[in-house]
Amino acid sequence: MKGRIVFYDRTYYPFSKFDGKCVGCPTRLRSMAVTTRLTWLQKKILQNHFGDKKFSLLYKASVHGFSTQDLHNRCCNQGPIITVIYSENVVSGVYVEENYQGGTTDSIIIFVLRETEISECKANSYNLFVNYNDNAQYCINLQSGNVLIPPQIAKRLELPPGHQYSFQECEVFRCEDTVDERKIQGLIQLRDQLLLAMRVYKPSGNLVNQVKILLLGPIGAGKSSFFNSVKSVFQGYVSHQALVGDDTTGTSKNYRVYSMKDRINGASLPFVLCDSLGLGEDEEGLCVEDILSLIKGHVSDRYQFNSMKPITSSDVKYIKYPQLKDRIHCAVFVFDINSIEHLSYGMVAKIKRIRREMIKCGMLHVVLLTHVDSMKLITRGDLIDIYSCVPVKLKINAVHRNLGFSVSDILVVSNYSSEWELDAIKDILILSALRKMLWTADDFLEDFPLE
Amino acid sequence: MAVTTKLTWNEEACLINQLGNVSLSLLYKSSVHGYSMSDMLQRYTCEGPTITIYFSNSIVGFLMLERNHKQTIWFTLRKKKDIIEMPTLLLNTVLKTTTEELSFLSYCGETIFSVNLKAQLIFLNHMLNAKIRLPVNSCSRANISECEVFRVEGIKDNRGYLKRITEVTQYRNKLLSDLRAYKPYADLVSEIRILLLGPTGSGKSSFFNSVKSVFRGRPTQQAIVGSDSTTSITEQYRIYSIKDGVHRQYLPFMLCDTMGLHDSEGGGLCVDDIPHILKGCVPDRYQFDPCKPITSKHPTYIKSPSLKDRVHCVAYVLDINSIDNLSSTMVAKLKQIHKEVITCGIAHVVLLTKVNNYDEVLQVNFLNVNKSTTSQKQVMNVSKILGIPIFNILIIGNHTSKWESDPEEDILVLSALRQMLRVTDDFLEDLPKEETTCGYFYYESTSCRLSQIYC
Ligand SMILES: Nc1nc2c(ncn2[C@@H]2O[C@H](COP(=O)(O)OP(=O)(O)OP(=O)(O)O)[C@@H](O)[C@H]2O)c(=O)[nH]1
Ligand SMILES: Nc1nc2c(ncn2[C@@H]2O[C@H](COP(=O)(O)OP(=O)(O)OP(=O)(O)O)[C@@H](O)[C@H]2O)c(=O)[nH]1
Ligand SMILES: [Mg+2]
Ligand SMILES: [Mg+2]
């Protein structure tokens, strides 16, 4: 332990008077908190690699002491563990799949993490943590700060030839599944609460019976899929009522006003979703004039859009004198989250123009980002707390920066696209997004001049 | 057996949220690691802040910042109509351990809490039992089925942390009810009008949204906010009254949102509009024209505004990060406006938005917002530019990115609002008798001179 004393605070606080024996070590400096040295990205890559795991840091050598005894006290019987070793310029370690109890472990996985790449190799070990280097197997000697890697393994992991590698820090984490039964139970409860809240929702001031939500966005953004997803959640199984597809010229051609039925009592739900033609480059897709007509409620269900020619008052589908119930109460800009940085200049300008028009006529709007499930590094477990997930935060900030929407108006979902079964995790994202849309509609109705 | 906590996911989420979005790592679980005192105690050493939770027919837990820290937070988690509540209590305690028992004593040596792991028994004294309001029938001595120790990561600032966790919600609710009960001075008007003025993108509309959200109890975005490189998002004059989410009544103040001021001449809010706004001549939803001010010929111009139509308090909204590089035109505009406001004798404050370090700004006792820290320089600077005393320079963080409301953010917003109402009361009290009693209202300003009679 010599030389490591620098890690401790010099002032030794007196131990409790009643405490006969001095158990424990001196108070630490605040900077010495037990936090991992892995960066967010490194930790995430490891967690994903070993199967969507959550890591709980159990032991950190520089804090808890460089001794096998200290490590075993904290890390035995904690279930599967992962040990991470920090050497001069490489992060390596070992994953123990079974409950680690000290002593012999049948199968271990030795890995090396370089940048974002993991190389690994399976091995056996008699004693993972040792005090004396008398072993030809892979082992870690905390006392001397060395890890012993047999040459053939070192070669497979592309480590420089050698036998012993010294390290500065060693951390041990317990690995749990991010999505376990306990969480699923909680999520199902939460889902049911949200579902109930939305079934009994009444638009503000009873001004209308149903709130109308308009979905707008580039072709293939996932507008129709969002409707399908909402419908699926409320009917209890996955629905594919609206046609979805990957046609680059747009799948949905008609304006559709979808009303949904409640599975439980067959009543209509207090909101309808309006699906439109996608926005295209230049003159393609939905035109801005049509959007204004949609918002004001001039267009009726099943109107066939024509990107060249906006709807006119002579069209049979044109409603001349729309009432409050016909107009849109909340507009939603839908984007594929992966496309945010790749939107063309023209598309950005178009979106900004539409937004400007909306602000002019007081139309409140939110942003919905779809396809989170297909983002790099994002796993199913991440969807539980998606808004605090670093890559998603970056995307949200990009939307804020590039398009000017306020951060609190940006929602994230993962639509049902290829699944057969409902998933409480996705349901919660979909329902929270819907809840925010209903709140926005309420704000709109409250703000609406009464004349 | 898997080492996972016995807390439900919702309970865990509530705990994490209440402690300020910390992260918890389960270190010890007695049913797996053995009901041995030394095993458990070991987990307290060198871990920093820890939480220990005992499961009997109810849940009792405590948070220690470090072993032998003199303060501990006690809490329970219980379900009330789908919502999980977490009553907390802050105590000064002394930790005492023997091979059998771990106990917390008060400073006068009385046992507040003790646990005997081997016997799986806990004891809570009467005071603790009553304060965290455990179910009445749970006796002070209880069998426990499980004991868990967690390390807490992400506690930002040790100073005052414990006190804040236990008192922040209470203080927020007190502020809320104070503001709900507020009545303008001598009932001269039923609602105070607060005008928000400031550069584009400084957070005027967001401030209205924040205030509304706090009183509503859910995030609202009635005013559109965001950013647009060229122009102001808000283009209309809006007078917002706010309905309280609890009592469904209108609150005793209104917020008037305006178009932002621009760096260039001929853009953004026209400075010449301001005298009209201050007097209360500009109607709700008036569409601002950056090039020319409203005139009395405008169809909805309010020709003879009464005291209730007037602006009673002006809040200059400025982004705290922009203070040091305000353009000279902006400073000139602000000075001109402020001169106008002073001539009219209207109450005024400054709101500095977009502070990031509000947990640093907020003092332990919440009573004073602490300006002696990083924001000191900006506060002094504003004070110099506008000649407004430091105590009327308020710091807030608008609800912008969070889903859940944050009680500390709420406190900043509510304290700012309270300060505005206080200065407005002084203004109302200071009004000449004639203006308030018989409705006569003589007005003088630098840009126009008019006297209006209201009967
Ligand atoms: N992985 C994943 N795929 C999605 C998601 N949302 C939509 N998709 C897929 O993206 C494609 C386009 O979705 P649509 O719903 O047809 O998009 P749209 O916005 O209605 O497109 P148009 O009608 O053509 O304008 C389909 O193949 C969907 O299955 C999502 O959240 N995750
Ligand atoms: N981080 C942070 N962002 C804020 C705060 N207040 C406002 N914002 C953000 O700043 C941007 C502009 O806010 P607005 O409320 O629209 O500003 P405004 O003063 O009404 O602007 P105009 O109406 O355009 O003159 C929005 O994106 C807000 O989300 C704050 O306290 N903190
Ligand atoms: Mg479609
Ligand atoms: Mg604004």
Residue reference for tokens 């509503």? B216
Select from B94, B124, B159 the last residue of a domain: B159
Of B135, B159, B183, which residue sits at a domain end? Answer: B159
Q: Would you state the pLDDT for residue A19?
A: 30
pLDDT exceeds 60 at position B98: yes
Which ligand approaches the C-alpha of residue A417 most closely?
Answer: 1
d(CA B272, CA B342): 15
Residue A362 region by backbone torsions, left for phi larger than 0, else alpha for psi between -120 and 50, else beta:
left
Same domain, yes or no: B34 and B142: yes
Q: Which residues line ligand 2 (CB under 6 A)?
A: A 406-407; B 198, 200-206, 225-227, 232-234, 259-260, 353-354, 397-398, 400
Asked if B349 and B383 sit in the same domain, the reply is yes
CA distance A62 to chain B (A): 10
Per-residue pLDDT, averaged over B441-450, amounts to: 37
**Which residue's CA is the nearest one to ligand 1's atom 24?**
A250
Tell me the CA distances in angstroms from B303 to A188, A333, B276, B283, B437, one per residue in order. Answer: 59, 42, 10, 10, 20
Residue B426 tokens read as 């002084």
Among chain A residues, CA nearest to B238: A447
- Asked if B285 lies within 8 A of A182 by C-beta distance, the reply is no
Distance CA A451, CA B237 (A): 18
Shared-domain flag, residues B180 and B305: yes
Confidence band for A161, pLDDT divided at 50, 70 and 90: confident
Residue A415 — left, alpha, or beta (φ > 0 → left; ψ -120 to 50 → alpha)? beta
Per-residue pLDDT reduced to its tens digit, A85-95: 999 888 999 99
pLDDT at residue B450 in the model: 32
Split at pLDDT 50, 70, 90, the class of B405 is low
Q: List residues near ligand 1 (CB under 6 A).
A: A 217, 219-225, 244-247, 250-252, 278, 370-371, 373-374, 414-415, 417
Q: How far apart are CA A291 and CA A358, in angstroms?
A: 9
Nearest CA-CA distance, residue B288 and chain A, Å: 12
The dihedral sign for the CA sequence B124, B125, B126, B130: negative
Amino acid in the structure at residue B212: K
Same domain, B343 and B415: yes
Ligand showing the shortest atom-to-Cα distance for residue A249: 1
Q: Which is more confidently placed, B171 or B62?
A: B62
Residue A177 has pLDDT above 80, yes or no: yes
Domain's final residue, options B132, B159, B186:
B159
User: In a mutagenesis test of the A interface, which of B3, B24, B46 is the best target, namely the one with the most A β-carbons within 10 Å?
Assistant: B46
Cα dihedral sign, B212-B218-B220-B225: positive
Residue B446 located in a structural domain: yes
Does residue A355 or residue B246 have the better pLDDT?
Answer: A355
> From the alpha carbon of A228, which atom of ligand 1 is closest?
15
Token pair recorded at residue A328: 């849109």
Of B45, B151, B220, the CB nearest to A23: B45
**Residue whose structure tokens are 């991470």:** A84
Residues with CB under 5 A from ligand 3 (ion): A 223-224, 251-252
Assess if residue B125 is contained within a domain: yes
pLDDT one-digit tens code per residue, B147-181:
999 999 888 665 667 777 778 888 888 899 899 98
Domain identity same for B149 and B179? no
> Is residue B1, in this structure, part of any structural domain at all?
no
Q: How confident is the model at residue B246 (pLDDT cuts 50, 70, 90)?
A: confident
* HSE-up of residue B412 (Cα within 13 Å, Cβ side): 29
Q: How far is CA B319 from CA B197, B201, B265, in A?
A: 12, 8, 20
Indicate if B122 and B52 belong to the same structural domain.
Answer: yes
> Of the candidates B14, B402, B12, which has an alpha carbon nearest to the alpha carbon of residue A54?
B12
Interface predicted TM-score of the whole assembly (ipTM), two decimals: 0.84
User: A135 CA to middle of ligand 1, Å?
Assistant: 56
- Residues of chain A above pLDDT 90, percent: 52
- Per the structure, the count of domains in chain B is 2
Q: Does residue B28 sit within a domain?
A: yes
- For residue A290 the two structure tokens come to 């049509």
| Contact partners, residue A386, CB within 8 Å, separation at least 6 | A372, A378, A392, A412, A429
Task: State which of A247, A304, A415 you would mutate to test the pocket of ligand 1, scoring each by most atoms of that ligand within 8 A of its C-beta.
Answer: A415
Question: Domain range spanning residue B103?
Answer: 9-159
CA A44 to CA A310: how far, in whole Å? Answer: 49
Chain A residue numbers with beta carbons less than 8 Å from the beta carbon of B32 are 77-78
Range scoring the smallest mean pLDDT among B60-64, B121-125, B447-451: B447-451
On whether both B208 and B336 belong to a single domain, the answer is yes
Cβ-contact B358, B369 below 8 angstroms: no
Residues B77, B386: Cα–Cα separation, whole Å:
49
Beta strands in A196-267 (DSSP E): 211-216, 256-261
How far apart CA B319 and CA B397 sit, in angstroms, is 10
**Residue that wins the pLDDT comparison between B315 and B265:** B315
CATH number at residue B218: 3.40.50.300
Question: If pLDDT is split at 50, 70 and 90, which confidence band does A3 have?
Answer: very low
Angle at B324 between CA B318 and CA B325, to 5 degrees: 90
Kindly report the length of chain B: 455
Residue B152 tokens read as 């807490």
Task: Report the pLDDT value the prediction gives residue A451, as an integer from 0 to 100.
Answer: 54
> Scanning every residue of chain B, which has its alpha carbon at the shortest distance from the alpha carbon of A397?
B401
B2 domain-assigned = no
Please tell me whether residues B285 and B244 are part of one structural domain. Answer: yes
Q: Are residues B182 and B126 in the same domain?
A: no
Contact between B349 and B417 under an 8 Å Cβ cutoff? The reply is no
pLDDT tens, position by position, A246-296: 877 778 888 999 999 888 888 899 999 999 899 988 888 888 888 999 999
Residue B367 has pLDDT above 60, yes or no: no
The answer to whether residues B101 and B186 belong to one domain is no
- CA contacts within 13 A on the Cβ side of A363: 27
Q: Which amino acid is at A237?
A: Y
Of the candidates A15, A77, A396, the beta carbon closest to that of B33 is on A77
Nearest neighbour of B25 by CB, restricted to A56, A182, A352? A56
Residue A429 in contact with residue A387, Cβ under 8 Å?
no
Residues of A in contact with B220 (CB under 8 A): 439, 442-443
Q: Which of A413 and B158 is assigned the larger pLDDT?
A: A413
8 Å CB contact of B222 and A364: yes
In sequence order, the 6+-apart residues with CB closer than 8 A to the CB of B69 are none
Longest Cα separation, chain A: 94
Q: According to the model, what pLDDT value does residue B173 have? A: 87
Q: Give me the helices (H) in A87-222, please.
A: 151-156, 181-199
> Cα angle at A148 between A144 and A151, to 5 degrees?
150
Q: How far apart are CA B430 and CA B88, in angstroms?
A: 44
Same domain, B146 and B178: no
Could you read off the pLDDT of B271-300 as tens digits, one per residue? 999 999 999 999 998 999 988 889 888 888
The nearest alpha carbon in chain B to A405 belongs to B226
Are B97 and A449 within 8 A, CB to CB? no
pLDDT at B443 over 50: no
For ligand 2, atom 30, name the residue with the nearest CA.
B354
Tell me how far apart the alpha carbons of residues B207 and B186 are, in angstroms, rounded to a whole number: 27
Residue B231: predicted pLDDT:
80
Judge whether A422 and A229 are in contact, CB under 8 Å: no
- Structural domain includes residue B75: yes
Burial A348-380 (b: 16+ CB within 10 A, else e): eebbbebbeebbeeebbbbbbbbbbbebeebbe
Query: Distance, in angstroms, between A374 CA and closest chain B CA?
Result: 23
The answer on B102 and B214 residing in a single domain is no
Q: If DSSP codes are grouped into helix, strand and coil, which group holds residue A135?
A: coil
- State how far the Cα of A335 lies from the Cα of B127, in Å rounded to an integer: 56
* Residue B249 counted as domain residue: yes
Question: Ligand 2 center to residue A197 CA distance, Å?
Answer: 30
Mutate to test the pocket of ligand 1, among A244, A334, A335 (most ligand atoms within 8 A of CB): A244
DSSP B287-299: B--SSS---TTST
What confidence category does residue A137 fall into, taking pLDDT thresholds of 50, 70 and 90? confident
Contact state of B46 with A63 under an 8 Å Cβ cutoff: yes
**Which residue in the set A78, A355, A443 is minimally distant from B220, CB to CB?**
A443
The answer to whether residues A388 and A381 touch, using CB atoms and an 8 Å cutoff, is no
Sketch out chain A's domains with CATH numbers: 26-177 (no CATH), 181-447 (3.40.50.300)
| Those residues with Cβ within 8 angstroms of residue B307's Cβ, 6 or more apart along the chain or in another chain | B188, B189, B431, B435, B436, B439, B441
User: Would you say residue B3 lies in a domain?
Assistant: no
Question: Tokens standing for B193?
Answer: 């009008």
Within 8 A of A408 by CB-CB distance, chain B residues are 219, 221, 399-403
- Token pair listed for B411: 């406190």
